[in-house]
Homo-oligomer: A and B are copies of this chain.
Amino acid sequence: MKPSGIGGRFRRITHRLGGAPDGDAGDIWKAIQLARHAERPYPLDYIQRLMPDFEELHGDRLRGDDHAIVAGIGRYHGQPVVVIGQQKGRDAEERVFRNFAMSGPGGYRKAMRVMALADKLGAPVITLIDTPGAFAGAEAEINGQGGAIATSMQTMMRLNVPTIAVVIGEGSSGGALALGIADRVVMLENSTYSVISPEGAAAILWRDAAKAQLAATAFKPTAANCYRWGVADAVVPEPEGGAHTDHDAAARLLDGYLSRTLRTLEAIPPGERRLQRRERFRRIGAHRELPTGGTAIVVGVDDGQSGRS
């Protein structure tokens, strides 16, 4: 392949990444609509199916209880497991109550407080991600929205227990990633994971909020693409037509993945598991290398195999 210098043409890194991203705008837009479907199962829908004995915990132990995030501990396959999820509302009233699953710093701090409990008890942590982003508000800023997200990531990076993050709907921006640092990050078949919500992207990049569909598809945020990029470790299938068509079946499919993966993770010593988790996030990204010699080097998301050509 032709070497590229500064300002030279970009090499295609798609082969290295396991194929070009799926770019069909129609398919992507469909996934985005399914990920946000009003009847899609939310964390409490999964929780009640996966663990009928579940104790929801409330409060950040600082100054409030953020309803955009539900957190608690339940009995799952014979052991206590902590679940933390971003909860959208099912009807108009609940949507306001849940603030459309856009939490403030208190939500992440509630999550961290429950993570600490998981670490104390040795209970695995499962996060269920479904948010258009962290809340944008003056009070949230004063209370340290940035620091809350960063500290949540740091806390998850340090947990001694097995952790799985599942993107169940739309995972947008740092508000999603705050709960997304885990030993395994997986996505439901029709979920999306993106740096920003379509509406936010349209306003910022196209300077036109009406360009949401265009913006959404530009990010190609489907599960299959995220898998290719190394952002998702696995894609969990949904019932035919999408998770909203059959909550029970969706929960069963997720259950299969979670229970198998928890067994796998529990077999790894905690210290090693923590290092692997770190290494996982240390690797993700795509850049070119430009040695002084002028030869282009491509480094993909995973440098365990040769990335030089």
Asked if A62 is at the interface (CB within 8 A of a chain B CB), the reply is: yes
Asked if A207 is at the interface (CB within 8 A of a chain B CB), the reply is: no
The chain B residue with its CB closest to the CB of A142 is B63
Pairwise interchain contact B147-A63, C-beta atoms closer than 8 A: no
Asked if A144 is at the interface (CB within 8 A of a chain B CB), the reply is: yes
Residues of B within 8 A of A142 (CB): 63
Interface residues of A in 40-78 (CB under 8 A from B): 61-63
Q: How many copies does the complex hold?
A: 2
Interface residues of A in 260-294 (CB under 8 A from B): none
Residues of B within 8 A of A105 (CB): 62
Interface residues of A in 128-152 (CB under 8 A from B): 142-144, 147, 151
Contact of A144 among B61, B143, B151 (CB under 8 A): B61
Residues of B within 8 A of A61 (CB): 144, 147, 151
Residues of B within 8 A of A63 (CB): 142-144
Residues of B within 8 A of A144 (CB): 61-63
The chain B residue with its CB closest to the CB of A64 is B142
A140 to chain B, nearest CB (A): 11
Q: When chains A and B are docked, how far (Å) is the Cα of A143 from the Cα of B59?
A: 11
The chain B residue with its CB closest to the CB of A61 is B147
Residues of B within 8 A of A62 (CB): 62, 105, 143-144, 147
The chain B residue with its CB closest to the CB of A63 is B143
A130 to chain B, nearest CB (A): 26
